[in-house]
Structure 1
Amino acid sequence: MRILFASQAIDGHFNPMTGVAMRLKERGHDVRWYTGRVFAGKLQDLGIPLCPFKRAVEHRADNLFELYPERAKLKGPWAIGFDGEKIFASNISNFFEDLRELDEDFAFDVLVADSSMFIQRLVMHLMGTTVVSFVVIPNMESDPLVPPLFFGFLPARNPVERAWQGMAGIISDKVILRAASQSYRRQHAVYGQEVPKGGRLTDEPYRCSDAVIQTGTMSLDFPRRNNNPKVHYVGALLPYRLPGGTAGEPPPEGYASTIAVTQGTVDNADQDKLIRPALEALKDMEGALIMVATGGRGTEELRERYRQPHIQIRDYLDFGSLFETTDVFVTNGGFGGVQLALSKGVPLVVSGVNEGKNDVNARVEFAGMGINLRTDAPSPDKIRAAVRTILSDPSWRHRASQIRDHFAAQDPPGAAADVIEKARPDRAG
């Protein structure tokens, strides 16, 4: 088959898809990738041809504030609403025109689309192409039992909470996502595509796909009343590692415990949110090795300030190897990092709000896999207390090891590749 992967030019969207693409390539399929030029080197290393954006704006983790300076002033749901319109919805027509042109030279049989590109309806209805959506965040599809997105809610436990969450859902639809939804409908109207009323913008990838690859496991999701048969939970989809690739400098040995810390690769410009408070919280824990990944920001400055030998501060860490010996992971809640940690049985301390991280962290809390600090900028005291709670209570590690077994029971790239190979168009719906 001729298979085209399509993703945002953002690491957290691109990287989880690479292992699946390589598995399909190994199975003999002709695999190519539509994304930004920022990934040209990575795709060359993987031997996958790049079909670069032409009309589409290349939104990257390192240029969002340059493209949209006003974004830095927004927080929580308002930041998500801004991203929904500017970063995601605004590019839909550009993506689609690029894909139609690309199809003339590479008539792909299946499009494996990053769900956040929101191109599924146009590709299925106007190109007649099989579409498999790839979801790199928790399941976005609305359900009566699942709280509305962007607020970090746990499932409602009583009528009062259900009523409150119902109101929040209306705010999400009518206020936070209003501009993005209007843009989505306008762009589809240009192509004569009427978007049905009811449901939410974030339901569209689930409505308009032949199959949906959902990263993670059902044990890391909220209970649902309606289980969409198109949705396939495949486990932790991790970046593909080339054979013989370096694992980086190994961590020092001889410590009683290891604590890993990161603020992710996007929302890491203001290190006062998590990295600095975490370092202040943990700098006196001399029996513990503190491994910090900065994402390439302010590394040398932090090293000058925190010279303690048990603190190691690096631009990036090979978390896949590090988590083999990690006891606690302190993170702002990127879904990829959360899955990787739990796939190794590592309990978490989570703290983050933007980019939907509060919804990830709510799932960590609900599953009993970590302590959710429920803030964007926790104090050192709260971080220290949470880390000590996990280190002193073996039940946290026990619960994390249980979900590790769920992850270990799956071959994520193989399971996802199977979904793509078996996808069949169903035009009747």
Structure 2
Amino acid sequence: MNILFASQAIDGHFNPMTGVAMELKERGHDVRWYTGQSFAGKLEKLGIPLFRFNRAIEHRADNLFELYPERARLKGPRAIGFDGEKIFASNISNFFEDIRDLAQDFPFDVLVVDSSMFIQRLVSHLMGRPVVSFVVVPNMESDPQVPPLFFGFRPARNPQEKAIQELAGLLSDKVILRPAGKSYRRQHRFYGQEAPKGARVTDEPYRCSAAIIQTGTTSLDFPRRNTNPKVHYVGALLPYRDQEVEPREPARQGYASTILVTQGTVDNVDQDKLIIPALEALKDMDALVMVATGGRGTVELQARYPQPNIRIRDYIDFAAVLEFTDVFVSNGGFGGVQLALSKGVPLVVSGINEGKSDVNARVEYAGVGINLRTDNPTPEKIGRAVRAVLADPGWKRRAGQMSQDFGSHNPAEAASQGRGRRSQRQVSCRHKA
């Protein structure tokens, strides 16, 4: 079978899909990938041919502020709305035209697509090809019991909270998502495709796909009134790695505990948000403190924090280090959160932008970590939260219980099987009430 993978040129979108791609490749399928040129080296190592973006703009973690200098001045709902329109919706037609062109050389049988590319309706309707959507963020499908997106709400507990969330939902639909929705509809009308009126653009991947590979577990999602049979939760999907891995950091190294800190790979320019206050909070603890910078300011931080218990690296093998980590301090990147919980490691989370507030709300709701509910926590807040997690075994116990939900099976294999098989029929994209 000819299988085309397609993803944004963003690490957190591309990397989790590689394990599934390699499972399918090793089963004898012809797997190829449509993404940005920046992943050419990785795909070459995997032996997967690249169709690079032609018309599409390559949005990467390291060029967003160069492409959109005004983005640095935006915060909260305005920042989310800007990203929705510029980074995600604006490329829809470009993605589709590129894929329609490359299909002349590679007549693929099925498209496995990063859900945030929003081309499911066009490919399934105009090309007649089944689409499997790959969701690397928490389940974004709307549901009466699930709080509105982007506010970091937990499910409403009383009429007052419900009323507040209903107002926030109107703000989300009418203001935050409006620019992306207008762009989505305008581009689809050009091709004679009409999205349901009043429907959220974030529901489209769930509506117009034959199947949805949803990272995470139901225990890390909010309760839902409606169950979409096309959605398959597959646990923590890790980047593909061969059997030869780099030497691991020695466990604990004589310290009472191990704390892992990250500020992700996108929102890591301003290290005063999390990395520096975390280092200030933890530098004098009897703990091995390991910090992943994502390749930014590593040398400067190493000089600033020479304490023997601190290890600052560009990148850290999270899968290895989390085997002996006691607390994971994170800004709420969904991939890292899932990986930590799959290893039974409780969290201290702090982050708002790029949808991280919704990830962190789920961590808090599940009782597997402390949510600081801010983009700029103080060292005092971080220190108190880390000490609270270390002092109360309940946090570790609940994280361990959730790790059982992630299971010991190979999630990439489960995803590649689709927990069933793709639908052979054209997807109708009907509006679901």
Q: Any idea what the Cα deviations from partners look like across 1:374-416, whole Å, max 9, x if unmatched?
A: 0000011100000000000111100000111111243201110
Matched, 1:328 2:300: no
**Change over 3 Å in CA distance of 1:296–1:117 after alignment to 2:** same
Shift in Å at residue 425 of structure 1? 3.4
Q: Any idea what the Cα deviations from partners look like across 1:141-162, whole Å, max 9, x if unmatched?
A: 0000000110000001111111
TM-score (norm 1): 0.98
Unaligned runs of 5+ in 2: 429-433
Shift in Å at residue 194 of structure 1? 0.8
Q: Give yes or no for contact 2:88–2:117 (8 Å, CA) kept in 1.
A: yes
Aligned to 1:48, what secondary structure does the other structure show?
coil
Q: Any idea what the Cα deviations from partners look like across 1:153-210, whole Å, max 9, x if unmatched?
A: 0001111111111111111111011111000000000000011113311000000000
Matched, 1:370 2:375: no
> Please, which moves more after superposition, 415-424 or 344-353?
415-424
**Corresponding residue of 1:317:** 316
Q: Aligned equivalents of 1:320 and 1:207: distance in 2?
A: 33
**Corresponding residue of 1:136:** 136
Q: How does 1:22-421 map to 2 (within 5 A)?
A: 22-247=22-247, 249-250=249-250, 253-285=253-285, 287-419=286-418
Aligned to 1:307, what secondary structure does the other structure show?
coil
Q: Aligned equivalents of 1:105 and 1:143: distance in 2?
A: 40
Q: Aligned equivalents of 1:309 and 1:384: distance in 2?
A: 19
Shift in Å at residue 262 of structure 1? 0.5
For 2:224, the aligned partner's letter is R
Q: Any idea what the Cα deviations from partners look like across 1:309-356, whole Å, max 9, x if unmatched?
A: 001111111110000000000000000000000010000000000100
TM-score (norm 2): 0.97
Q: Give yes or no for contact 2:17–2:239 (8 Å, CA) kept in 1.
A: yes
Q: Aligned equivalents of 2:134 and 2:30: distance in 1?
A: 18
> Please, which moves more after superposition, 38-47 or 417-426?
417-426
For 1:127, the aligned partner's letter is M
Q: Aligned equivalents of 2:7 and 2:294: distance in 1?
A: 21
Shift in Å at residue 420 of structure 1? 7.9
Q: Give yes or no for contact 1:247–1:321 (8 Å, CA) kept in 2.
A: no
Q: Any idea what the Cα deviations from partners look like across 1:27-59, whole Å, max 9, x if unmatched?
A: 111100000010001001001111111000000
For 1:382, the aligned partner's letter is K
Corresponding residue pairs, total: 428
Q: Give yes or no for contact 1:281–1:383 (8 Å, CA) kept in 2.
A: yes
For 1:212, the aligned partner's letter is I
Aligned to 1:51, what secondary structure does the other structure show?
strand
For 1:362, the aligned partner's letter is A
Shift in Å at residue 8 of structure 1? 0.1
For 1:179, the aligned partner's letter is P
For 1:2, the aligned partner's letter is N
Shift in Å at residue 250 of structure 1? 4.4
For 2:55, the aligned partner's letter is R
Instruction: Tell me how large the CA RMSD over aligned residues is.
Output: 1.1
> Please, which moves more after superposition, 413-422 or 333-342?
413-422
Q: Give yes or no for contact 2:341–2:402 (8 Å, CA) kept in 1.
A: yes
Aligned to 1:105, what secondary structure does the other structure show?
coil
Q: Any idea what the Cα deviations from partners look like across 1:40-99, whole Å, max 9, x if unmatched?
A: 010010011111110000000110000001101111221111000000000000000000
For 1:425, the aligned partner's letter is Q
For 2:98, the aligned partner's letter is D
For 2:147, the aligned partner's letter is P
Shift in Å at residue 245 of structure 1? 2.8
**Corresponding residue of 2:431:** none
Shift in Å at residue 246 of structure 1? 1.7
**Change over 3 Å in CA distance of 1:428–1:15 after alignment to 2:** closer
**Change over 3 Å in CA distance of 1:237–1:294 after alignment to 2:** same
For 1:239, the aligned partner's letter is P
Unaligned runs of 5+ in 1: none
Shift in Å at residue 243 of structure 1? 2.1
Q: Aligned equivalents of 1:45 and 1:34: distance in 2?
A: 16
Q: Identity of paired residues, percent?
A: 74
Aligned to 1:364, what secondary structure does the other structure show?
helix
Q: Aligned equivalents of 2:56 and 2:261: distance in 1?
A: 34
